[in-house]
Structure 1
Amino acid sequence: MLEWKQVRSGTRPVPDPASTSIVWAVAAAITFALVAVFNFLDGQGDPTLDLVAISVTVAVVSTGARLTAAPGTALLCWLVLNAYATAPIGALTWEAPYDLGRIVCLLAAAATGTVLARLARARSAYHRLTP
């Protein structure tokens, strides 16, 4: 019995991730814009909503990044969050359990976004290459 299969010319590889510096710049700019909007809308208050919105944004921005960009992305976003979303504005402060929790949350969001995107791309590339 003969079985006909379509021959694909040229395989499409998994796309290369974006440059780390570009990911950091985009994440920091979006974080700064989100904090500015939230400060304008609800004033200087509890930055929990800021943290949730920034974590989601970091996960989305990290879908095009390398996993090695995750710590820097989390640190840059934490710096903006700490300096402009918590009182006193414009001053970096350190409250160990609270700030460490925020850094871990941002790092987890960045790593999750990167890993899920890379797995999805690898899976789709695998399906393109196998009959």
Structure 2
Amino acid sequence: MIEWMRIRPRTRPVPDPAATSSTWAVSAALAFALVIAFNFLDGHGDPVLDLIALSVAVAAVSTGARLAAAPGTALLCWLILNVFATAPIGQLTWEAAYDLGRMACLLIAASTGTVIARLVHARAAHRRLTPWTGPPGS
């Protein structure tokens, strides 16, 4: 005889990701705060430290986001980096080699954060839902 059991009513094994607009708002606000802080700390020099800090922040914010939010997150952070951390400050500029590299770095960070979080959540859900059969050989 088969006995049906509910796992938990209304409980999803994998949490829902945050809304894309929320992810973009948080990442833009965090990027702006980081760039302003770095401008006060090290001046308006080479924005490599800004890019590294933004990449880490984008990866952290993207852990709760959908993968579809990654391109927009990277673009928003690149715009803030370009306007507020790259000389001339306050102007949107385009240098293909540098800007494509920065965009790629931010996109990779956002995608990596999202994919790692989804894998961790899926693994935890698998462990919660898989019945324990006892020690091997018993």
TM over 0.5: yes
CA distance in 2, matches of 1:111, 1:69: 9
Say whether residues 1:82 and 2:82 are aligned partners. Answer: yes
TM-score normalised by the chain length of structure 2: 0.88
Query: How far apart, in 1, do the equivalents of 2:81 and 2:7 lie?
Result: 48
How many angstroms apart in 1 are the aligned matches of 2:12 and 2:74? 31
Unaligned ranges ≥5, structure 1: 1-6
Give CA deviations for 1:82-128 in whole Å, capped at 9, x if unaligned. Answer: 00001111100000000000000000000000000000001100100
Aligned residue for 1:125?
Answer: 125
TM-score by length of 1: 0.92
Matched residue SS, 1:35: helix
Matched letter for residue 83 of structure 1: V
Q: Number of matched residues?
A: 125
Residue type at the aligned position of 2:83: A
Q: Distance in 1 between matches of 2:42 and 2:61?
A: 25
For the pair shown, the structure with the greater C-alpha radius of gyration is 2
1:13 aligns to what SS in structure 2?
A: coil
Helix, strand or coil at the partner of 2:45: coil
Is 1:33 equivalent to 2:33 in the alignment?
A: yes
Q: Which runs of 4+ in 1 moved over 3 A?
A: none
How big is the shift at 1:8? Answer: 7.8
Distance 1:88 1:99 in 2: 14
Q: Where does residue 4 of structure 1 map in the other structure?
A: none
Cα deviation for residue 81 of structure 1 reads 0.1
Instruction: Give the root-mean-square deviation of aligned CA atoms.
Output: 1.2
- Amino acid paired to 2:37: V
Instruction: Provide the identity percentage.
Output: 74
Counterpart amino acid of residue 47 in structure 2: P
